[in-house]
């Protein structure tokens, strides 16, 4: 559920956050996630900010002296605040954007920079000197707040409303539409890359919890922003919630794609089969290998395989296939324990996850592709394959369902959350492939599988 992972923060870097609509909340959330993951964090500014919480504060204008003291402070503390001084009203005075980024990079910490102010408004108009981004940023994060949508353009809604009005062709008092917010985002990206031309760009659209029906708005925003050549990621967030990222897109070649992962459940006891059913030979290979091959053929590269402790062959097979392998010591408690293990390992930087039993060798890659394409178009919480009106496997769960999935118990798996969703939140995708209904539990099922394969026809 990590905001930091969705932003691509995998190694220490200089990250500048600017805009309006929750910057400080987002910065504090990112810092807390990084610290929880064992990283060191420096919180600083290029403008002026109030001291961020009860953390050590370094004030130093001698940059080389600052670096020495900063390294010493980071040996004792996970988070340190840094500024050039304190103003008369107690705010931290910002560091020099032209001189500090490369030097601070030597600290080995994540450098989080608040690069402008918005006086707690969801939008802002930009003065000629804003934002104030370190020119050597690795990542810039423009932020805007959706609480401004359909509100009147006033000084109560937008910081520097007159400047916003002049830039976005809207009169004071006029209604702020999604088109105005989209135009504002493009302006913010342009201003950012002008000051930090080498940086990657990840946009955050915050306050999504204020929108009753968010999917049409999300689709409109991503369609409008996807053509911006410098934008690599787009996050729609509710920053104050426990699971802040509601929608996550990667952008490439003018297209916004919600990333999809897969969790293959391969830790069952197979008690009715009497032996390891995933190791049974099918068309010259173990059944589990066929399942992994079809998922990979559908273009899904992030695959996690959940296995029982001490089982060597599935681990070796999965690792050769480039999968992540997770052991589930609690596999005897039921399917839910494996599902949660796999979800925790696989899901941070995906919009949706397939949950796939390891014994689906006949389900073709085309089925995974159809379900994935349906999810891309509709962004439903759950997407299921259906054959002749009967629901089957695999099932695709959007990240908005993950908090519910992490609470399930027993052997029923993900379908436990279906009663908690409205019928309109579960998409049934009709397929001509009866293999989505196939269960491999007994020796009779295995013989039926071999017979089905003899008569297998193209499906999808």
Q: What is the DSSP code string of 281-346?
A: EETTEEHHHHHHHHHHHTT---EEEEE-TT-HHHHHHHHHTT-EEEE-TTGGG-HHHHHHHHHHHH
Six token digits for residue 14: 């200089």
Q: Which residues contact 384 (CB under 8 A, 6 or more apart)?
A: 371, 391, 392, 395, 396, 426, 427, 428, 429
pLDDT score recorded for residue 459: 45
Six token digits for residue 261: 């992962």
Give the C-alpha separation, 82 to 59, whole Å: 6
The single-letter DSSP state of residue 46 is S
Q: List per-residue pLDDT tens for the chain, 460 residues long.
A: 689 999 999 999 999 999 999 999 999 999 999 999 999 999 999 999 988 888 999 987 676 678 888 999 999 999 999 998 999 988 999 988 877 667 777 889 999 999 999 999 999 999 999 999 998 899 999 999 999 999 999 999 999 999 999 999 999 999 999 999 999 999 999 999 999 999 999 999 999 999 999 999 999 999 988 888 899 999 999 999 989 999 999 998 888 999 999 999 999 766 666 578 888 888 889 999 999 999 999 999 999 999 999 888 999 999 999 999 999 999 999 999 999 999 998 878 899 999 999 999 989 999 999 999 999 999 999 999 999 999 999 999 999 999 999 999 998 889 999 999 999 999 999 999 899 998 887 888 888 888 776 665 444 4
pLDDT score recorded for residue 458: 46
- Cis peptide upstream of residue 443 (ω within 30 degrees of 0): no
The whole model's pTM is what?
A: 0.92
Give the C-alpha separation, 428 to 66, whole Å: 59
Give the C-alpha separation, 175 to 71, whole Å: 49
Structure-token match 């798996």, residue found: 413
- Cis peptide upstream of residue 165 (ω within 30 degrees of 0): no
Burial class (CB in 10 A: 0-12, 13-18, 19+), 442: middle
Give the C-alpha separation, 379 to 424, whole Å: 12
pLDDT score recorded for residue 457: 46
């Amino acid at each position: 559920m990590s905001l930091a992972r969705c932003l691509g923060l995998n190694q220490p870097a200089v990250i500048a956050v600017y805009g309006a609509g929750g910057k400080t909340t987002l910065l504090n959330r990112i810092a807390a996630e990084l610290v929880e993951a064992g990283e060191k964090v420096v919180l600083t500014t290029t403008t002026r900010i109030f001291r961020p919480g009860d953390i050590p504060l370094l004030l130093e204008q001698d940059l080389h002296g600052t670096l020495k003291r900063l390294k010493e402070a980071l040996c004792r503390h996970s988070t340190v605040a840094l500024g050039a001084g304190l103003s008369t009203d107690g705010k931290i005075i910002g560091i020099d954007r032209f001189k500090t980024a490369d030097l601070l990079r030597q600290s080995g910490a994540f450098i989080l920079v608040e690069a402008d102010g918005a006086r707690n408004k969801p939008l802002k108009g930009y003065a000629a000197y804003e934002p104030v981004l370190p020119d050597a940023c690795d990542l810039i994060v423009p932020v805007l707040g959706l609480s401004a949508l359909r509100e009147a353009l006033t000084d109560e809604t937008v910081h520097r409303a007159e400047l916003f009005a002049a830039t976005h062709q809207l009169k004071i008092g006029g209604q702020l539409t999604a088109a105005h917010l989209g135009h504002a985002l493009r302006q913010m990206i342009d201003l950012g890359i002008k000051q930090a031309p080498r940086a990657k760009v990840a946009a955050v659209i915050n306050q999504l919890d204020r929108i009753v029906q968010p999917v049409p708005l999300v689709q409109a925003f991503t369609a409008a922003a996807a053509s911006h050549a410098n934008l690599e990621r787009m996050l729609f967030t509710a920053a104050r919630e426990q699971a802040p990222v509601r929608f996550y897109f990667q952008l490439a070649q003018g297209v916004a794609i919600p990333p999809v992962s897969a969790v293959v459940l391969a830790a069952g006891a197979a008690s009715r089969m009497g032996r390891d059913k995933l190791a049974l030979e099918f068309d010259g290979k173990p059944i589990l290998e066929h399942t992994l091959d079809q998922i990979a053929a559908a273009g899904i590269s992030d695959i996690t395989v959940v296995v029982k402790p001490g089982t060597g062959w599935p681990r070796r097979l999965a690792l050769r296939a480039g999968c992540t392998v997770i052991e589930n010591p609690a596999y005897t408690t039921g399917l839910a324990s494996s599902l949660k293990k796999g979800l925790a390992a696989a899901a941070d930087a995906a919009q949706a996850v397939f949950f796939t039993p390891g014994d689906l060798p006949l389900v073709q890659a085309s089925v995974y592709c159809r379900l994935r394409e349906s999810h891309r178009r509709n962004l439903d919480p759950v997407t299921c394959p259906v054959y002749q009106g009967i629901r089957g496997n695999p099932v695709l769960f959007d990240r908005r369902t993950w908090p519910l999935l992490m609470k399930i118990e027993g052997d029923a798996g993900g379908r436990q959350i279906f009663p908690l969703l409205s019928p309109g939140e579960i998409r049934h995708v009709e397929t001509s492939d009866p293999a989505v209904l196939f269960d491999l539990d007994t020796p009779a099922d295995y013989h039926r599988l071999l017979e089905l394969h003899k008569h297998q026809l193209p499906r999808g």
